[in-house]
């Protein structure tokens, strides 16, 4: 099969087509004939040598795919050959086929194309697990989403709306802010021209927000705590602004607040399977309507041009998810 390899660590040009053996399923796995693969920020970090795959995972980049079940391993009882599925992977998505524990796959929702379905796994597993399971976001609450126009951010806006909560986002340009508003953000703060903390205080009449979904990390920790309402929760999923920051513990205590963090990639198949069960129960019934959760696709590139997809992502102008079309 054709794959895209990281030939050596470096810029997008190190992504090269190569031939590898087609995988066979181990017990509990399915092999997916990949039709589309999502591109994630993590893939660009892996390409630069800054985010190694977890032990035992494929060295090929790619954390989410959509396609058709090609082969089924022993003791798989949730999917059969020929079914359309999307799945979250620990790696290996930039390829014609991948093997994945069947508990990490979900059916492609009715009315979603393969390219559209490839926008779902990484974004939904991450956003649902952090907002619903960890931060326990409830209807009526207000959520601050940093990086609102990212793949993750756009999904967070839509899931927040589906939950009956109010999303406020930050983004770096007017165009990105406008896109977030069109997706359902109640307010979009351009963090390059405004102080998000001052804006949050004004927008919430000094109360603050109940939940913050943060992908900036250290540089925002102090302000995120300041932006919290009593009993507020911060969930950190990336450290693009540094891995350490100032935490005023007295403020945290006074607000009875919580700061949490998580990563998805290194979790076991069983743990990812638990997230998949929650998604199937709570989110999958919402998807056929494509409202409020719809595909937000910035650009589609052929698999062989993965290099261009990475250039687009690192250029930083994208809004939503970048997808690779396979076969």
Ligand X SMILES: NC(=O)c1ccc[n+]([C@@H]2O[C@H](COP(=O)([O-])OP(=O)(O)OC[C@H]3O[C@@H](n4cnc5c(N)ncnc54)[C@H](OP(=O)(O)O)[C@@H]3O)[C@@H](O)[C@H]2O)c1
- Residues in contact with ligand X by CB under 6 A are 40-42, 122, 126, 146-147, 149-153, 171-172, 176, 191, 215-216, 237-238, 240-241, 262-264, 313, 316
Least separation in angstroms between CB 81 and ligand X: 30
Least separation in angstroms between CB 146 and ligand X: 5
Least separation in angstroms between CB 8 and ligand X: 22
> Please, which residue, 72 or 157, has the CB nearer to ligand X?
157
Least separation in angstroms between CB 22 and ligand X: 28
> Please, which residue, 117 or 313, has the CB nearer to ligand X?
313
> Please, which residue, 76 or 283, has the CB nearer to ligand X?
283
Spatial CA neighbour of 188 closest among 91, 2, 180, 120: 180
Least separation in angstroms between CB 70 and ligand X: 26
Q: 286 with 262: CB under 8 angstroms?
A: no
Residues 6+ apart with CB under 8 A from 65: 32, 34, 36, 37, 38, 86, 87, 89, 93, 98, 118, 121
> Please, which residue, 15 or 216, has the CB nearer to ligand X?
216
Tell me how far apart the alpha carbons of residues 96 and 6 are, in angstroms, rounded to a whole number: 16
Vertex 84: Cα angle to 183 and 126 (nearest 5): 45
Least separation in angstroms between CB 313 and ligand X: 5
Q: What would the two tokens of residue 31 be? A: 């092999």
> Please, which residue, 72 or 171, has the CB nearer to ligand X?
171
**Left if phi > 0, otherwise alpha if psi is -120 to 50, otherwise beta: which for 11?**
beta
Q: 246 with 261: CB under 8 angstroms?
A: no
From residue 48, give the alpha-carbon distance in Å to each of 90, 185, 243, 282, 305. Answer: 17, 33, 18, 36, 17
> Please, which residue, 27 or 315, has the CB nearer to ligand X?
315
> Please, which residue, 72 or 132, has the CB nearer to ligand X?
132
Tell me how far apart the alpha carbons of residues 316 and 295 are, in angstroms, rounded to a whole number: 19
Q: 22 with 46: CB under 8 angstroms?
A: no
């Amino acid at each position: 099969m054709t794959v895209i390899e990281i030939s050596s660590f470096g810029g997008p040009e190190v992504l090269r087509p190569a031939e590898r053996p087609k995988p066979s399923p181990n017990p509990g796995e399915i092999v997916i004939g990949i039709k589309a693969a999502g591109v994630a920020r993590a893939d660009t970090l892996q390409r630069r040598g800054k985010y190694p795959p977890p032990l035992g995972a494929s060295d090929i980049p790619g954390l989410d795919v959509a396609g058709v079940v090609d082969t089924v391993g022993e003791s798989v009882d949730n999917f059969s050959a020929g079914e359309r599925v999307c799945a979250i992977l620990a790696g290996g998505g930039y390829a014609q086929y991948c093997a994945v524990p069947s508990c990490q796959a979900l059916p492609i929702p009715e009315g979603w194309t393969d390219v559209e379905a490839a926008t779902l796994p990484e974004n939904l597993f991450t956003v649902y697990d952090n907002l619903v399971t960890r931060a326990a976001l409830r209807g009526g609450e207000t959520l601050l989403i940093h990086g609102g126009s990212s793949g993750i951010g756009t999904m967070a806006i839509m899931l927040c709306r589906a939950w009956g909560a109010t999303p406020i986002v930050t983004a770096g340009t007017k165009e990105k802010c406008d896109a977030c508003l069109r997706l359902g953000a109640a307010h979009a703060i351009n963090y390059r021209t405004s102080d998000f903390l001052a804006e949050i205080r004004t927008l919430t009449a000094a109360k603050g927000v109940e939940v913050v979904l943060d992908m900036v990390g250290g540089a925002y920790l102090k302000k995120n705590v300041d932006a919290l309402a009593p009993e507020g929760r911060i969930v950190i999923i990336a450290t693009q602004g540094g891995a350490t920051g100032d935490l005023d513990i007295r403020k945290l205590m006074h607000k009875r607040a919580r700061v949490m963090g998580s990563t998805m990639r290194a979790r076991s198949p069983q743990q990812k399977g638990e997230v998949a069960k929650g998604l199937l129960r709570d989110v999958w019934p919402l998807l056929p309507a494509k409202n409020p959760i719809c595909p937000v696709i910035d650009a589609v590139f052929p698999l062989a041009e993965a290099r261009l997809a990475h250039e687009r992502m690192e250029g930083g102008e994208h809004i939503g998810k970048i997808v690779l079309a396979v076969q």
